[in-house]
Amino acid sequence: MTTQNLLVELFVEELPPKALNKLGAAFSGVLAEQLKAQGLAAADAVVTAFASPRRLAAHVTAVSAQAADKAVQQKLMPVAVGLDAAGNATPALLKKLQALGADVSAPAAAVAALKRAPDGKAEALFYDSVVKGASLQAGLQKALEEALAKLPIPKVMQYQLETDCDLPGWSSVNFVRPAHSLIALHGSAVVPVKALGLTAGNRTQGHRFEAQVSPVVLQHADQYAETLKNDGSVIASFAERRAEIVRQLQAAAAKVGGGCQPIEDDALLDEVTALVERPNVLTCQFETEFLGVPQECLILTMKANQKYFPLIDASGKLTNRFLVVSNITPDDASLVIGGNERVVRPRLADAKFFFDQDRKKTLESRVEGLSKVVYHNKLGTQGERMARVCAIAKAIGQQLGGDLLAKQAEQAARLAKTDLLTDMVGEFPELQGIMGGYYARHDGLSSDVAEAIEDHYKPRFAGDELPRNNVGLVVALADKLETLVGMFGIGNVPTGDKDPFALRRHALGVIRMLVEKDVALGLPELLALSAPVFGDKITGGAGALIDFIYDRLSGSLREQGFSAQEVDAVMALRPARLGQVNLCLSAVRAFAALPESPALAAANKRIGNILKKAGEVDAHVNPALLQEEAEKGLYAAMQKLLPESEALFLAGDYTASLQTLAALRAPVDAFFDDVMVNAEEMDLRLNRQGLLKSLHVAMNRVADLSRLAA
């Protein structure tokens, strides 16, 4: 069967830029998936997505004009229902066959054509038929409707189309943006499908201002991208347009010189790609006086408000140049450049004004204002929250660094939230913490405290850097622990995909700091330091919170490449010092690679079951009660190896500690082959249980080795 490539385009008004790439991928993906499901496109058909500000399109290779007929077997009903005692068709069977289009004029012949086959405990009747393959028009119509229905549209709008009937009137259409034309080309032939009140043709529109012809007429499905680029001055491919913007940004930065580079921001790049049809990068500048404002403020206002790309010099400092991605390419770009420079100037002036005004008040003078800001109706104001964070930070600081660290941490925690009351953070909430650091330096505070104020939100997201100094680490831990303990204490626990207080992110932040900084405090100890500061505002939640954090840690470790067995073995012991977890995992992985590992893991599991049934067992052995050679041999091996393993464990060499125990395989195997643990004599039984208890404790200091058993 001959095939042709298919092109479908929906031309609309400007689509939401932050959703464009997803819309393009979804449109092409569902369309191709439906064509394949109907047998109109091969399973290995190549699908190419196109998405520009005003169009969604898909190109699918090797699409048939008619799908092949398909043999279908349908279950009708149990034989006992479809046939009477004489084997003749019942009215129910004839009605079912008639509904399927079968010829029932000769019932006996119709029954003879059916098949019988077992269906569970009974026998059923099956009807074989051939379903005619879908035509391209019918199949594409279904695929197009499905693709439009499944678009991840952020928000639909309703608009009206004029009806085709003689009487005046309007019909309503719901879609993300008003649609103006539809193209469906199978090779060079138009497939007359309909969607959103439009009938497919072969015409579309190019660039609003720079198209060479209007409308743009497509002669063949394979000429879509080329025709749009040449006649319509539009780069239809999102990926190609993005790559062209990157190329032009780099070229423009190189012309400026001085090692300048455009700021890296994938989200901004994607958004700008979704705003232009044919990019043209221009270089602009602003007055150098604005560089006295913290560069984070200037960068944010240029990116967020204007979609500009600030230029950073070789040392990472902001320059007074920025790049604009224009959607037009005039012969004289000076008016476009001048217009963008005029637009950005008031934005930068506002930032400078906010910065100057904020510095007229110290952070300390703003502390009282926190008591007027509600944090949570059950947990009080930001002032009350600040007091709790101060208390937690002071306690952690005292434990980790004595009086000096406790004092610095308490001071930083007291001032950390005051920048929420500044004009700059009021205008740009993304700068909270960052502006606090600037204002702290202006107030003459130490660099440790200023950096701690700036860093106390870190890590803000996966992969974000951690606080730079110990003061920042303590305040960041205190801030996140206060949130976690408080929210769990009042029952605000994440459920499903709902986590309005970002508690999963807070938990992962705590985990990263404890692990990567190897904080010398256990997780239970930290939670015990945090809970009392709430007084009677919280009721419980400690157990659920510690489970929650360990679950997040387990998931994080699996994502890092550790096996489920390795993670379960280590996490079964609920290690208090999270900084030791990776050492334990490495030790378990090395132990699992030893040839003795499977036998010892199985023995460990067996020992655990014996001790569980025995109840309370004292890890004590009386050598005089050892009778069998196998138990004497195991005891002797333990006397030699367990002290060595313990010394290595206490020295922090967990890998060597576990590997030392590998030599116990032979005596352990011999013990279980030759010794009856639950002997009738009570003193022998308790002694042997005590021997196993001593072994079990020693084997499971690093991890629960029974979790490695198959």
Task: Give the mean model confidence (pLDDT) for residues 176-200.
Answer: 94
How many other CB atoms sit within 10 Å of the CB of residue 53?
Answer: 21
d(CA 570, CA 708): 10
Q: What is the pLDDT of residue 472?
A: 97
Q: What is the pLDDT of residue 540?
A: 81
Q: What is the pLDDT of residue 156?
A: 86
Helix-strand-coil percent breakdown of the chain, rounded to 5? Answer: 55, 15, 30
Q: Hey, where are the domains in the chain? A: 3-67+135-232, 71-131, 238-358, 364-561, 581-708
Q: What is the pLDDT of residue 710?
A: 66
For tokens 């001790």, the residue is 611
- pLDDT band, residue 59 (cuts 50/70/90): very high
Rounded to an integer, what is the distance from CA 208 to the centroid of its chain? 37
Q: What is the pLDDT of residue 569?
A: 95
Per DSSP, 305 falls in state I
Taking the C-alpha atoms of 406, 411, 415 and 417 in order, what is their torsion angle to the nearest 10 degrees? 10
Query: Which comes out higher in pLDDT, residue 164 or 72?
Result: 72
d(CA 100, CA 143): 25
Q: What is the pLDDT of residue 173?
A: 87
d(CA 591, CA 673): 24
* Cα atoms found within 13 Å of the Cα of residue 576, Cβ hemisphere only: 9
Q: What is the pLDDT of residue 167?
A: 46
Per DSSP, 466 falls in state P
Q: What is the pLDDT of residue 476?
A: 97
Q: What is the pLDDT of residues 194-244, one digit of tens each?
A: 999 999 999 999 999 999 999 999 999 999 999 999 999 999 999 999 999
Residue 45: is its pLDDT beyond 90?
yes
Among candidate residues 383, 465, 444, 378, the one with its CA nearest the CA of residue 417: 383
Among candidate residues 416, 421, 483, the one with its CA nearest the CA of residue 456: 416
How many other CB atoms sit within 10 Å of the CB of residue 399?
Answer: 17
Task: Give the mean model confidence (pLDDT) for residues 164-178.
Answer: 71
What are the backbone angles phi and psi of residue 75, rounded to the nearest 5°? -75, 130
d(CA 513, CA 221): 55
Q: Which two tokens stand for residue 257?
A: 């010189």
Q: What is the pLDDT of residue 128?
A: 80
Residue 413: is its pLDDT beyond 80?
yes
Task: Give the mean model confidence (pLDDT) for residues 562-578.
Answer: 94
Domain spanning 3-67+135-232 has what CATH number?
A: 3.30.70
Q: What is the pLDDT of residues 623-655, one digit of tens each?
A: 999 988 999 999 999 999 999 999 999 999 999
The class (CATH top level) of 364-561 is mainly alpha
d(CA 139, CA 191): 11
Crossing angle of helices 470-489 and 542-559, in 10° steps, is 120
How many other CB atoms sit within 10 Å of the CB of residue 474?
Answer: 32
- pLDDT band, residue 130 (cuts 50/70/90): confident
Residue 100: is its pLDDT beyond 70?
yes
Q: What is the pLDDT of residues 461-514, one digit of tens each?
A: 888 999 999 999 999 999 999 999 999 999 999 988 888 899 999 999 999 999
Report CA-CA distances (Å) from 109 to 74, 88, 102, 698: 18, 10, 11, 79
Q: What is the pLDDT of residues 502-551, one digit of tens each?
A: 999 999 999 999 999 999 999 999 999 999 999 999 988 889 999 999 99
Task: Give the mean model confidence (pLDDT) for residues 285-309.
Answer: 95
Per DSSP, 132 falls in state P
How many other CB atoms sit within 10 Å of the CB of residue 25?
Answer: 17
For tokens 């249980």, the residue is 689
Q: Which two tokens stand for residue 54?
A: 């005003």
- pLDDT band, residue 78 (cuts 50/70/90): confident
The class (CATH top level) of 581-708 is mainly alpha
d(CA 514, CA 512): 6
Task: Give the mean model confidence (pLDDT) for residues 434-462.
Answer: 96
Query: Which comes out higher in pLDDT, residue 107 or 260?
Result: 260
